[in-house]
Every structure is written in structure tokens, then in C-alpha cells.
Amino acid sequence: MDLLEYQGKQLLARHGVPVPSGKPATTVDEAVAAAEEIGYPCVVKAQVQIGGRGKLGGIKVAANRAEVEEHAGNILGMDIKGLTVHEVWIEEASDIASEYYASIVFDRSAKSSLVMLSTKGGMDIEAVADEDPDAIAHLHVDPLLGFQDFHGRRLAFDAGVDADVIRPIGDMLAKLYETYLEEEALLIEVNPLIITNDRSIKALDAKVTLDGNALYRHPENAELTDPSAEDPQEKMAKERGLTYVKLDGNIGILGNGAGLVMSTLDVVAQAGGAPANFLDAGGGSKAEAITSAVEVILSDSKVTAVLFNIFGGITRCDEVAKGLIEAFATINPTVPFVVRLDGTNDVAGRELLAEAALPNVHTVATMLEAAEKVVELAG
Amino acid sequence: MDLLEYQGKQLLARHGVPVPSGKPATTVDEAVAAAEEIGYPCVVKAQVQIGGRGKLGGIKVAANRAEVEEHAGNILGMDIKGLTVHEVWIEEASDIASEYYASIVFDRSAKSSLVMLSTKGGMDIEAVADEDPDAIAHLHVDPLLGFQDFHGRRLAFDAGVDADVIRPIGDMLAKLYETYLEEEALLIEVNPLIITNDRSIKALDAKVTLDGNALYRHPENAELTDPSAEDPQEKMAKERGLTYVKLDGNIGILGNGAGLVMSTLDVVAQAGGAPANFLDAGGGSKAEAITSAVEVILSDSKVTAVLFNIFGGITRCDEVAKGLIEAFATINPTVPFVVRLDGTNDVAGRELLAEAALPNVHTVATMLEAAEKVVELAG
Amino acid sequence: MSVLVGADTKLVVSGITGREGTFHTLNNQAYGTNVVAGVTPGKGGQNVEGIPVFDTLHKAVEETGANTAMIFVPPRFAADSILEAEDAGIELIIAITEGIPAHDELRVYNHIKANGRSRLIGPNCPGILSPGKANVGIIPASFFREGQVGVVSRSGTLTYQIGNELAQRGFGNSSIVGIGGDPVPGSNFIDILELFENDPQTELIVMSGEIGGDAEEQAAEYIRDHVTKPVIGYIAGFTAPPGKQMGHAGAIVSGSKGTAAAKAEALEACGVRVGRTPTAVADIAAEILGA
Amino acid sequence: MSVLVGADTKLVVSGITGREGTFHTLNNQAYGTNVVAGVTPGKGGQNVEGIPVFDTLHKAVEETGANTAMIFVPPRFAADSILEAEDAGIELIIAITEGIPAHDELRVYNHIKANGRSRLIGPNCPGILSPGKANVGIIPASFFREGQVGVVSRSGTLTYQIGNELAQRGFGNSSIVGIGGDPVPGSNFIDILELFENDPQTELIVMSGEIGGDAEEQAAEYIRDHVTKPVIGYIAGFTAPPGKQMGHAGAIVSGSKGTAAAKAEALEACGVRVGRTPTAVADIAAEILGA
């Protein structure tokens, strides 16, 4: 789960990481009220999960009330790379002596956590990594040992930070790691981490990704939302506990298991079709989940045909069949369905479908055949 | 550092371990005031670091104000196995359905922590261990992994606790471990851990030993004191940062390094003498520390002769000599001294002593000779 | 022969009394797997169709000599159950549970590795099937029969699909190993490739990967350097858009790293033939084994 | 030969710029130890009498190839310094620092053991002297000369006393190893006994223990089963009253366990002769080696 800038910074602040003070606002009036409280100059920052918003006019300094009104008015509702700005963050202006970069990444490949620090902050870190890899100090932290003081010292000396901030930077990295661990983040990136003229350090921006699987342990984080980021179908699917990703095509796809669904998308594409979505009904889906998933798929008006590709393990094909029959009873779909059922209770599932004799539902024997059929029907 | 019962329980309570409410009191008036606040019946408990105080009249239930007055009056000032009671703990009375035992021990030998649980609480656990070792469930916790839920479950099932408290007991063990780790304890023992009639669990007694080396990280714990436990010489030595243990004999001993001092005690005993103390001046002692140590040794009026046995490594013999010379200048000792100096700067040290020509100070060449000489002089 | 599970397997199931736990345990037993015990705290002394249930894994091991554990508890209890199994001395732990927090997985992985006593398969995996011998997990065994193809896969249902395509061409399997699609799998492709390389029954290995991470790239180099048997690769996710998470925590692509195309290339560069569909994998297998 | 430190030692000193750190580093260097670097964060680029100082241990290793680290920082920084040395790949870490919190020691011990890359001696130890070759730590080397007696001890100054008694009888030492008196020493008697057993220069081993813990009892069994060379034991603390802590965290006796008498008995039961005073140890050595 990706957090908005201000959500991430508030999370960091809870663990003692210094951040500029600020307030979120969803209307111009709220923005003005926030600015009046914070004082001038202040910064109006668009809250969207995408880089480069500054260049596109999503970050503006306001010297007074009128400017806040103007900037908030412009930024709220603005489209930034396809995302609509629903919220701004009004923040005290910071003076900047230096811009550094710090991050902690859950490194699947190394099975540990990667901590990075660079004095080349404030810019695209991937460009720095390409052009001057030595400018980014990095090390892995043994998960059983945790972040030690020497990790912080080593990063600070290796990155070549100013001598007077060696210790504060080390302390800040320790706090970022604490946040990362205790909030169960998969990524914490602070860019820029600034040194002010009076030599204090602050996280001026923050990108935080939390582990969705761990949210049950962090109910306060589970409530954080990003109104700009979600597609209506994706939101609907999420509310129903389905893994759904919207794509550009017209063939609705439902399968069980991420790998099989991805493979189905590939096979449909190879057969000349364009998938409208990725939808993993998950392991052990009951009939209701299937009915619910059909609703999600069909709520995308571009869909002209739907493919069910099920190979049941923990999922039982008879439940899938029941769910589809129920969907026909309640929402009466008008597009054709191609259904391939194999695996646990497949015979029972196919029998149920045969008995139900649903209109325009085609049962096929193999995945390849199913893909070809649905492409043909989708038109 | 050993804590008094109530200090230990307050420490546990800070980590969410349920304990009966109570208040400490050093006078009868305070005890009565505490009881009035807590309500009746309440328990008046002598605060001394020694087992078996109950049998000796150190724990009394009071049904009303008059009884608190009576019991507190009797217990305050009472001698329990050589310790004077300076403080009582007034506690709400608890009803007891079952008495269990729980402890966490820093296990040097296993290089990990040993957690124990038994349903045979409320009695001498060493007797239980001797007579019915299977009645004590125990396991070691990997320090890098920490206490896991399964540790608690396993202990609870192995100990055979009542089915309805399996989970609460596991939770309590987790909290005890948290306390042990975060407060850097070397021992936490809860005996009895009680189940009340309404099936809640509480730590009714607690024995907590903290790591003195870690107190700098726990300033609030460093301030805890036990007025009953300390001998005046030991207290004086502690304030001066010296490691001093009072013994029964008449030969004052000063050495550097615990091993050498213990060995010196042994050699003096073998030579027929009786050491008055163990005093390790520590590594790298400066002259002032030596002077200060002489004062501590001589504050014990039984001392009739003093032995210095120094083999300098990090300690420099010239500093030791200077300290002894300074001691003669300021406190003018009347008992004979036997001094053996070897190791770092020993020649310089011996020269300083020779020049000073202190009265009744005998320089000898070896440890064995030194022991024999001091026994002879001590009379 | 087969790998990991077989005639010597003595299985204990953590979470045996849950609905799915019971269903699949009995399925596994019906297939012939030697299920010796189950564990559900508080239900010690009961039994599930004759399989004794214990309160702790330690007790189960003590009483039954179980050497393999299947973890079938909900995600919030799964890390603890895996650690319990490791502590109890279980050699092979197969964690079916999906949705375990990533930091739990990291801790569990590193602890098990540091101790070096147990092998963990999964979590978020379908288990291991050695056709004709034993089935531990949720793989629908009736679709597979004994044979010479070893299958290792990050995805559950995709494994069935590939196994099924092979079966339709008449090929059976030595073992089918689902290593799971989570960020920190207990065992990776390389661990299983090594087992298949040393398994006399296995003549051909099918390795089914997906987008995200670099496990396939690492496996490619391992195959080049250490595997003498023919390997066929498959990668799911050619049509996945970058930056989108596709269900598995594993299935996320960032930039050009971890894309299906990059993985297929890496495998081919190391001499592994890659089928573009499950059907194509079976075609290549037929070519190699001469069906 | 000698054990642990010698001609191959390339020493880096953590805390080199402290008063004691500088004093003993230069002493060690003057003795002939190859001191290649020091570490003090923030003083990188400086030098101590020509010994280059670095900000981090990693940098020191990178630039000088140091293989041995001496830890001379205050207790609150010592655990971190030891872990830093281990992380930097140092093979032998000798921690002189006294007063490290016990839980820090526990964590450090288990981490180093789990990784298996480094050997830790100490903390709270006087270091290691291989007379005529190298001295790392605070042992006053001028009292000792090269010879055939290996000494291992929990106590610092007692080690000097015993070494000195041996010297007065004309015996020199292969190495003198202080393992320290703390609750969780990085290395125990057994680790060092094994080294002396395999060291051709060592003909006789003196093992000096003290009250508390069960390290001597464990060593006794090890000697019986694995050590062919003669071993002389010494135990300090016969007159220590039970329950009292005598300076070292190690030197505490509870009940009958860990008393000097129990330890001496355990050693004698395993065929180790125990001297009741340092002088008696030297007497026995003279008997065995025939001085």
C-alpha cells in the first residue's frame, strides 16, 4: 500500500523523524485555514503518488493568503500524469543548505533490507545510480541483528556527508529503520532529506510503501486512503477482497491463482485478444466471491466477453459454477462467457453448468481453446 | 542489582504485567495512610531481599486500620535473617485459586535465556526442582529470535496449566520476557503467579535482578535503592566506584582484578589469616582511587593489617604507590601495611615507596611472601 | 525416487482442525501420504478421522516422530507455526498459508537459514506432490501420475496447468514442487533444481517462473553452471503492465528489471528453452523426451 | 608457533585515540606487534605516531588488510564496535573493554556464532600475548618470555601472577590467552584448549579459572576426552562467601554450584592436577616439565 507524501511524513514523525509541520486540505478554504495556522511563506503540494509533480506545477510556494488561495485553487483538481489531485498538503517553507537522499528497501533478492544514503538528493536517484553509482552508499542489514550504530556511521562516512551531521544522519537512519520495521514498510524513501541553514536535518519528502498483508497489526495505517490513486473498478474489487488490476482491452478475465491468471492474459494476447483486466479470485473462493467478481468485471463497460480459466486446487470447481449461475440469476450478463474448469470437483462443476444451461456460456476443455474461443466471441 | 519486591512489581507493571495495587511506606503513619487509600483487607509486607520472610512474621494481613498500625509497627525495624526492615509494602489482598511459578534467567552456560513455568508455585522452587523436576516446564529462547507465541504455548501446555489460562499465561510470559529484555534484567522470578477466583492472573511476588552494567541506559532504575541490604563499608565503596565485599576477618585486602584479589584471599587464608574484605581497585586505578580505597578498608574497625597485592597491567604501580603515600598524608593509618608491586611501572612504584619511607609499610617481593608477612603482622 | 516428499514422509499438519486444513489433510491421507499427527492448541487429545491431534508441535514430534510439517493456519499465526516446527526439529516445513506479512517471512527465512536444521517450502505455495508416493498440500493429485518430469514453480494453479499439459502428452512427474510466489520464499528455484539434478527418476525439469524479483535470472546461471539435465522454462506475465502488482507479492515489475521478457532472455542465454505458453512447454518436452 | 596472535597478526585498534587506547596500542607496537590501523569515527585521516586512523573499521580493513581487531572503546560503544569488526570481516576480535551490558554480550555472542566468520576473545579480558611474537592487549609483556607453557585464564591480573610464577621457575609461554571474566565470553576454555592441543610449541597447558558459572566443569570433561597434553588447573575463590559477587560478573557463587571446591574436584576427577596457589601451579609445572 503506497502512502501519499504527507501520510508517509506523519508516519515518520511518529517515530521521531523530524519533518516540516503541515496540514492536509481537500478544499481551497481548508488550504487557506491551514496556511493561516502554519504561517507564510508556506508550500502548497499536490498529493499524488507520482514523481515529477513539481515540474508540472504541483508544488508552489505561497507568500501570503492570496497566493495560497490561487495555488490551492489551481492544484486541487489538476491532472498529473493521469491522476486527479484531490488533496494538497500545506507545509511550512524550509530553507535548504543541502539535499541528501536516504532510503530503506525490502530486498527480496538478498533476503534482507537495503539501506541507502547519498549526498546527491533532490533529484532522480535512478539517474544518479546510473551516472555515478559510487555517490550512493549502501549496505544490507541482517534482519536478525537489526540496524546498528555502525551501519549509520558507515553509511554517513561512505556517502561523505558533512562532518557536523555524521551523527544526526546516523540517528535519522536508525529512526527510519525503526519506522520501516515497526510499521512493516516495504519501502521508505526520503528525497530530499535536507540540511537547513541552521544545520538541522529534516525529511522534506517521503515515499512510503506499507505491506498490505501486515495491515491487520496496524489498524491506524489500514485507514489511510489515497482518493486519487484508485480506479473505480479496482476500488470495488478491493472492497470485495479480490485482486483486480484494470487493463486496456475488452476481454474480462477471471482465474484462480496469480500465476495462472497472468498466463491466461499472455495466452489470450497471443491468440490476438486484449484483456480488460487481471482478476485473481484467490484460493478457496466460494460461490459468492465468484458472483461478486463477475459484477466487478462487468462494471467495466468496455468488456465484450469474459473468460473463466479455473484449475482448482484449493478452489473447487463446483463453487465456481455455482457462483456463475448465481451471477446470471442476479445480474443477467449480456456478454458471452467462455468457461474452462479443471481440477478439484471439476466434473461436478461442469455438470452444474450443463444443467443450468446458461445463455451464451461456452464450456471448453483446454486453456488454449478457451483463449481462442473468447477472442473469437469478443469480436 | 537486586530489587525489592515492590520495586520489581512496579517494573513489571510498567510492561503491562498485572500486579496487585499497593504503596510503599517507611513509617507506620505512611503505612496507615497507604492502607486507607487501598482499602481493607490489605497485606503488610516487609521489603527485604531474602526468602522466607513470611514464616518469620514479615507478611501480615490487616483487616482494618488498627491492624495495619500494629503490623507495620512490628515489621518496620524487624530483623529478618540479619537484615533490618526499613520499608514495608501495603498491598490490596488477593484471593487465590491457584499458585503458579514463572521465571526468566540469564543462562550464562547456555548463552541464552531460560524461561520456566510451573503449577507448583508459592513454595521453594528449588525443592520442587529436586523432588519433582518434571513439574517445571522450561525452554531456552534464542536471543536473536526472541520470545515467540509458541514458546508461551509450549510452556503452558507442558506445565499443565488450567485450560482456560493457557493463552493469558502465554501472554504474561511474553510480557515478562519483554520486561527482562527491555529493562536488561538478569533474573525475573514471579512466585507465586496467582490465578484469582475470577480467573484473572497476577504477579503476587517478584524477584528482579537488573544488570548493573546496563543501568546507564535505564536512569530511572539506577535510582532504585534498597536501604536494608547495604553494609556501611559496602555502601561507601560503591559510592566511590570500588568493588568491595565485606568479610569476617581482620586482614584488609586490596588488589587489582577480581581473579587476583580472590586468589589473594585464598593465599592469605592458606597462610592462616582471615581476610576482612575483598577489594578490587579495578583496572587503571589512579592514585586518588587507591587513597579512597584505603579509607574504605580502614573504616572497618576490625582491620589490624592491610595487604596490597598488585600485578599491574592496565594499572600502573607508580599510581598505586602515590595513592598509598597520599593515604598516609591524609588519614595517617595506624595499622601495618604489606605491599607487593609487580607489573607495569613496578620499579618506579617501588622507588616512590622507598623514598617515602612510610612508617610500618613493608615491601615484599612475592605474593606468597606477602601473605605470610601480613598474617604475621595482623596478629 | 522423488524429491522432498515420498514414502519416508511422516506428516504433521499445523491447523488440522480448520475447515481447509481437515479437507486437504484427509485428501493427502487418502492419496497415501503417511499423516501421523495434527496440531491445534487446545485440541490435544482429540483426533481428526483417527489422526491424533496435539497441543504443540513438539509433543506431536515426540509422540509420532513426524519429520515433515504442513502449515495450514491463518496468516497471522503462520510465522509462529513455522518457527515452532523448526524449533521442534522438523526437517521439511511446507507452508501453504497465503498472506503472511513480509517482515515475518524475512525473519523466519533468516532464522531458519542461520540454524540450518530445516528446509522451508513456501509460504503461499500449493505444496509438493510426488505422484504415486505422497502428496503434501493442495495440488489436485488425480491429474498427475508418476513419471520422469520434475516441475518447480512459483505459482500454484499454473503448476497444475503445466502438469496437466504434460499429462495430456503422456508424461508423468517425479515430483511437483510449488515454491510459492511470496517475496521471501523459504526455498528458491536453485534449491529445488539441485534436488532434481540429483534425483535419478527425474530426466527433465520444468521450471515455471513469473514476473518480479530475480529468482529466475539467478536460476538461469545456476542451470548453466550446475545442471546437466534438460530444463524447460516458462514465464508468466508477458502482458503485465509495469508497476502494477498482479496478485502475488512476487508478481510486480519495476522498470525493465524482472519483466517476463528479461527473464525469458536470461534463461535462453543460459541454454534453457522457454515455452511461451503452457502448451508450448509440453511441446518442447515431447521433443526432448521423444513422445 | 603460538596461538591466535603472532607474526601474521595485522592489528586494527578500535578506540585508538583514547588515552588508554593509545598507551596500550603503542606498547603493543613497541613489543613488535604489527599494528596497521586504528579507528575513531571523525578522526579518519589523522594518525597516532604514524599509525593511520580511519573513520570506520570497514575502511581500515579495506586499506590495510587488518585481520585482528582490538576493541578499546568505552562499554556503551563496545558491542557496536565488536559487531562492526565482525561485519568488516575481521577474523579475530579481542575485546578489552570491561563493563559491557550482559544482554549486549548475549546478542553479540549469538550473532557472531550464527555467522561463524569471526572469533571473539573477551570482552573484559587482558588480551593475548605470544611472547617474542606479538602482544595484543594489556598484558605486561616484559614479565614473560617464549616457551612451552600455554596459559588460558578468565582473570587478567591472576594470569600475570601465574605467568610470573612460571617465569620465576624458568618456564616461558607459547601464548597467554585471557578469555575474560564476563557472563558471556566470546570464547571459552574449550575453544582455547583445542588451540593449545594443536599447537606444536605448547607442551603443557595451565588453565586458570574462578568461581561462578560452569565453564571449568565443561572444560574438565573436554580435557578428559580430547586433550592429550598435560593440563594444570587453578581456581580462585575458595574463600569467597556464597551469594556474594566478587568483582567479575563471573565471580558469583550460588549454592554449591560453581564453588571453587566443586570446580577443583571436577577437574581432578577428569585427571587434571589442580594447584591451590599460583606458586603451587608453578611447582606442579616444574614436576611435569622437570625443571
Please report the number of interchain residue pairs, chain B to chain D, with beta-carbon separation below 8 angstroms: 179
pTM: 0.92
Are B149 and C80 a contacting pair at CB < 8 A?
yes
Which chain A residues are within 8 Å of D86, Cβ to Cβ? none
Nearest chain C residue (CA) to A249: C239
A6, A100, A101, A180: the catalytic one is A101
pLDDT(A340) > 70: yes
Given this model, what pLDDT does residue A140 score? Answer: 97
Q: With contact defined as beta carbons under 8 Å apart, do B282 and B271 qualify?
A: no
Residue position matching grid coordinates 607496537: D29
Q: pLDDT tens-digit profile of A214-238?
A: 999 999 998 887 766 667 777 788 7
Residues A148, D55: C-beta atoms closer than 8 Å: no
Q: Are the C-beta atoms of residues D216 and D155 closer than 8 Å to each other?
A: no
Let me know: does B312 contact D159? Beta carbons within 8 Å.
Answer: no
Task: Return the pLDDT at A302.
Answer: 94
Task: Give chain C's length.
Answer: 291
Catalytic position from the list D103, D111, D226, D248: D248
Minimum Cα–Cα distance from D81: chain A residue: A150
B177 has catalytic annotation: no
The closest alpha carbon to B340, from B274, B253, B248, belongs to B253
Residue C227 pLDDT grade (very low, low, confident, very high; cuts 50, 70, 90) = very high
Residues of C in Cβ contact (< 8 Å) with B153: 41, 55-56
Contacts of C240 (CB under 8 A, 6+ apart): A262, A265, A278, C211, C246, C251, C253, C259, C260
Residue contact C278–A216, C-beta within 8 A: no
Torsions phi, psi of C202, nearest 5? -80, 125
Strand, helix or coil for residue C220: helix
**High-pLDDT (> 90) share of chain A, %:** 75
The residue with cell 525469458 is C264
Query: What is the structure's pLDDT at A68?
Result: 95
Choose the mutation target among B213, B238, B347 for the interface with D, i.e. most D CBs under 10 Å: B213
Please identify which of the residues B87, B91, B189, B372 carries the catalytic annotation.
Answer: B189
Instruction: Give yes or no for residue A54 having a pLDDT over 60.
Output: yes
Test A142 with D81 for CB contact under 8 angstroms. Answer: no
Q: Is A6 a catalytic residue?
A: no
Decide: B84 and B15 in contact? Cβ < 8 Å. Answer: no
C80 and B150: CB-CB below 8 Å?
A: yes
CB contact under 8 A, A145 and B144: yes
What percent of chain C lies above the pLDDT cut of 90? 84
The pLDDT of residue A235 is 79
Taking CB atoms and an 8 Å limit, are D157 and B256 in contact across chains? yes
Positions in chain D short of pLDDT 50? 249-250
What is the pLDDT, as a whole number, of residue A228?
62
Q: How much is the average pLDDT of B336-348?
A: 93
Catalytic residue among B5, B87, B91, B101: B101
Q: Which residue has the higher pLDDT, B1 or B362?
A: B362
C-alpha cell at C111: 532464522
Angstroms from B144 CA to nearest CA on chain A: 6
- On whether any CB of chain B is under 8 Å from the CB of D30, the answer is no
Nearest CA among D40, D69, D65, D74 for reference residue D54: D40
Q: Output B10 or A123, whichever has higher pLDDT.
A: B10
Q: For A328, list phi and psi in degrees, rounded to 5.
A: -65, -35
Residue C184: its chain A contacts at CB < 8 A? Answer: 108, 111
Give the residue carrying C-alpha cell 518469620. B56
Q: For chain A, which chains pass the contact test of at least 3 CB pairs under 8 Å?
A: B, C, D
Q: Write out residues 67-126 of C within 8 Å (CB-CB) of A.
A: 75-76, 98-104, 106-107, 109-111, 113-114, 126
- Closest chain A residue to the Cα of C234, Cα to Cα: A263
A contact test, residue of B112, B142, B144 with most A CBs within 10 A: B144
- Helix B166-182 / helix B5-14 crossing angle, nearest 10 deg: 100
DSSP calls for B45-106: EE--SSTTTTTTT-EEEESSHHHHHHHHHHHTT-EETTEE---EEEEE----SEEEEEEEEE
Contacts of A126 in chain C (CB under 8 A): 255
Contact state of A144 with D111 under an 8 Å Cβ cutoff: yes
The shortest CB-CB distance from D42 to any of A150, A154, A163 is to A163
Pairing mode, if any, of strands C119-121 and C92-95? parallel
Q: Which residue has the cell 613496578?
A: B346
C184–A260: do the CB atoms touch at under 8 Å? no
Q: Which residue in chain C has the smallest CA separation from A186?
A: C102
Specify the amino acid at residue D228: T
Q: What pLDDT band is residue B364 in, cutting at 50, 70 and 90?
A: very high
pLDDT at C245: 64
Q: For chains A and D, count residue pairs whose Cβ atoms are closer than 8 Å.
A: 34
What value, to the nearest 5°, has the Cα angle with vertex D53 and ends D48 and D56? 155
If interface means Cβ-Cβ distance under 8 Å, which residues of chain A face chain D? 142, 144-145, 148-150, 153-154, 157-158, 163, 166
Q: Band the pLDDT of A251: cuts 50, 70, 90.
A: very high
Which pLDDT score is estimated for A362?
A: 94
Catalogue the active-site residues of C: 248
Q: How far apart are the first and last CA of chain A?
A: 36
In contact, C234 and C248? CB cutoff 8 Å = no
- From A122's Cα to the closest Cα of chain C, the distance in A is 21
pLDDT digits (tens, 9 = 90+) for B61-108: 999 999 999 999 999 999 888 888 999 999 999 999 999 999 999 998
How many contacts (CB atoms, under 8 Å) link B and C? 33
The beta-carbon neighbor of A367 closest among C104, C161, C276 is C161
Instruction: Name the closest residue on chain C to residue B157, using Cα atoms.
Output: C55
The answer to whether the CB atoms of B145 and A145 lie below 8 A apart is no
ipTM of the complex: 0.92
pLDDT band per the 50, 70, 90 thresholds, residue A50: confident
Q: How many percent of chain B have pLDDT more than 70?
A: 98
Contact (CB, 8 A) for C169 and A372: no
B149, C58: Cβ pair inside 8 Å?
A: no
Q: What is the DSSP string of D111-163?
A: HHHHHTS-EEE-SS--EEEETTTEEEES--GGG--EEEEEEEES-HHHHHHHH
What is the predicted pLDDT for the residue at B228? 62
The pLDDT of residue C246 is 62
Q: CB count, 10 Å around CB of B135?
A: 15
Tell me: the pLDDT tens digits for C34-87?
A: 999 999 999 999 999 999 999 999 999 999 999 999 999 999 999 999 999 999
A83 — pLDDT class (breaks 50, 70, 90) = confident
Cβ contacts (< 8 Å) between B145 and chain C: which residues? 83, 107, 111
Whole-number average pLDDT of chain C: 92
What is the predicted pLDDT for the residue at C161?
92
Among chain B residues, the shortest Cα distance to C56 is held by: B154
Contact at CB, A106 and C208, closer than 8 angstroms = no
